[in-house]
Chain A
Amino acid sequence: MARNRALRITRLLHKGLNLAITRIPSTTHEPLLWEYAESRESTDIVSLDDSYGLYIDGEFRKPKSRNSFTTVNPANEDVLAKVSEAGPADVDDAVSAARAAYENVWGPMSGAERAKYIFRIARMIQERSRELAVLETLDGGKPIKESRDIDLPLVAGHFFYYAGWADKLDYAFPGIKPKPLGVAGQVIPWNFPMLMLAWKVAPALAAGNTVVLKPAETTPLTALLFAELTQEAGLPPGVLNVVTGAGKTGAAVVSHDDVDKVAFTGSTAVGKLIQSQLAGTSKKLTLELGGKGAHVIFEDAPLDQAVEGVINGIFFNQGHVCCAGSRLFVEESIHDRFVDKLKRRLDTLRVGDPMDKNTDIGAINSKEQLDKINELVDAGQSEGAEIFQPDCELPQKGFYFRPTLFTGVSQSHRIAQEEIFGPVLSILSFRTPDEAVEKANNTPYGLSAGIWTTKGSRILWMADRLKAGVVWANTFNKFDPTSPFGGYKESGFGREGGRHGLLAYMDWDEG
Chain B
Amino acid sequence: MPVQVKLPTVLRPFAGGAEKVAVETPGERTVGAVFATLEQQHPALRRRLTDEQGALRRHVNVYLGNDNIRDLDGLETQLPDGCELLVLPSVAGG
> A and B: partners?
no
Interface residues of B (CB under 8 A from A): none
